[in-house]
Structure 1
Amino acid sequence: MTWHGPTFRISDGETINGVWRLVWRRHEFDGEHYPDHLFVYADGRITVGGHEPTDLAGLRERLAAGKVAPERPDAREWPVGEPTKWESRNPEALTQEGFLLEVADEIDRLAGRPGAGDRLWDAVRDHRREPTEAHRARLRDAYLAVPAHLRVYVLGDMDHQDRPLRMLLTDLGQPVDGDGPVATEEGHRWALAYFDDAVDGEARHERWLALRYADEPAGASGPPVVLHETFHPGGPPAEPGPFVLRNDHEAPFVHAGVSYPSVTHAYWALSAADPADHDRIRAAATAHEAHEAGGPAARRADWPAVRLAVMAALLRAKFGQHPRLAEVLLATGDAGILYTGLSDAPFWRDEGPRGGRNWMGRLLELVRSELRAAAPPQTPAARTAETALRAATSTGSQTGENGGA
């Protein structure tokens, strides 16, 4: 069976990442086994379907009692007369102990800890640098820590499978796996040469990636700026905050020779097929009313194909004609911008774990980049002022109050 994901659960407001796979659960009434989902999470929590959560120890007990099985109990076994283990391309049988090791490995991976495969390759590199018996013993332990049914895959090479490891870890003069070729110095040299080539190839691949991805931003960006949908009963504050980046903030601008009170007015007016609807929406008293008027209006036939380009043009006009608003946008630095709320379709907004495509946030990041490219180089004093404004903007963006526009 294959692990699927990602999945997650929410615990005390925190997102816990997980994966899932099919297992066979024994029904308590008829004793038959039925497929069900085994969920495994980064904090070690394990559940079978919607049943009571457990952990590795609890899963071990359920496996031993026959309540859960990693494979269908009446599954077909490998036929008799297989080639020797050295020659076979088939993995070893999946056992309860091997399955528990696999689940533990998934928990480590989800939690960001090295898995059995990572520890194995670390031991390979150590033995390659210094091929001593102590390092070979450590390599043997790392190999045996890999679930037996996954060992043929651990090197990621289905031509050689794990044969280089098995040859290297067999003492000289002993048959590999008991029925394979006798381990010789030449066989050990072949295995070492294999790992030399693999590690060198890994280094070459890293250099290739560094060249290919030379423009990848270095380091982590700042925390995301969240643009909450806000409501200001007494009118917007005098000092511009992150709310000015939203489309419903009234900042009149001209687009294609026509003046619009806000991006919301312009977007819905330009979406209308009837010129009379365009003018009626543009003349709406507020952005909220423009949205209410534009929603039921007949849409231009080409609107789905052009709406992203239209929205980008409107944002360029807004921030290009309002330098103070452009400063607020630039103050967000390189942070991701999450455009939230309830008034806009999920296509435009971020919905956290529920999805949302966040196209508004992405277009704001695009316009921010264009403003940055067009601006003259910053002086140290300007950078200091931007840092202070960005801090204020980030703080304000996190405290916005959800509500209607």
Structure 2
Amino acid sequence: MGRTHRVGIIGLGVISGVYLETLTDVDDVIITAVADLDPARAEAVAVTLPHARALSVEELLAASDVDVVLNLTIPAAHAEIAEAAIRHGKDVFGEKPLTARLDDGVRVMAAADAAGVRVGCAPDTVLGTGIQTARALVDEGRIGRPLAATAVMATAGHERWHPNPDFYYAPGGGPLLDMGPYYVTSLVHLLGPVTAVIGAGSRLRAERVIGSGPRVGESVPVLIDSHVTGVLTHASGALSTLIMSFDSAATTAAPIEVHGEAGSLRVPDPNGFDGTCAVRQVGEGEWTDSEPLAGVVGAARGAGLVDMLRASGGRTARADGQLALHVLEVMTALLQSAESGCRVEIASTAERPALVPLTEGLAALQG
């Protein structure tokens, strides 16, 4: 590994706790600064970290002891923070989606290319043993040539548990832009890039009621489609059917299934890092579970940042900005198609990231 990577975190909401738990246990990563719109929150986090100090956002972006900005702000702020970090010559790794709007994502990636800095983006759950084992099974030919996939996420909505769910129902949120990155990114890992989409969307009601926290009972307006479905055409010719919903009580559907000429593959929840893959080949009567074949054992959020920091020898980070931009275009194209009723071609592309060898923990993840 060879060097220490100095990380500054902007945005200290709910998800930051998981990143902090991961990164404070990684020997070659040191958190040197934290910032939040609420200075008291930044101070409270900084005192728990041995090398960090609480700064304003502007101070952190300019800090000489921050090499990489971990951007955990709300989606509407992703582009602004990323561009500011790039202007200061810093690498950026952000929460998903890359940006709330496609044109913002294109601009962020162009700025990074011009500045010679790296951009990475969640989801990095795809680096765990769940999706990586599924990828290994596909690559080994266990189901033959892949022909189709289904991806289903159906819940009743995040307002039931999140104390401040407003952004889930505002532009940049919704089930597709919030949860879709896990599923679409996984589909690209499994089947390759997407060339066209067609979609449809709806919304069950005009407002949601917060179910927990200090704002319990308060209503939040729904400004986006809360149920989105569509078909993705992959460059390989495979077709993926996608259902992303905040309007469902529950589902018995597998999170992802991939179907090929010789069999079918059941894939675990891409919002987690592990889980069991199962294969049922043509003519067999039962599903057969697979042992983990690839991926980081015991991975957690922050794995993609660590992978980006350690990427060397010309290898692209497995959770890189170009993949996130492609996934963002696929999702925004689905919403565009849902509005227009027309098929939408995808202009961008992305390489399938390198398979992660079976690795016991982030400490052993190599560049």
Range class of TM-score, shorter chain: under 0.3
TM-score of the superposition, structure 1-length normalised? 0.19
Please identify which structure carries the higher strand content: 2
Which one has the largest radius of gyration?
1
Q: Which has the higher helix share?
A: 1
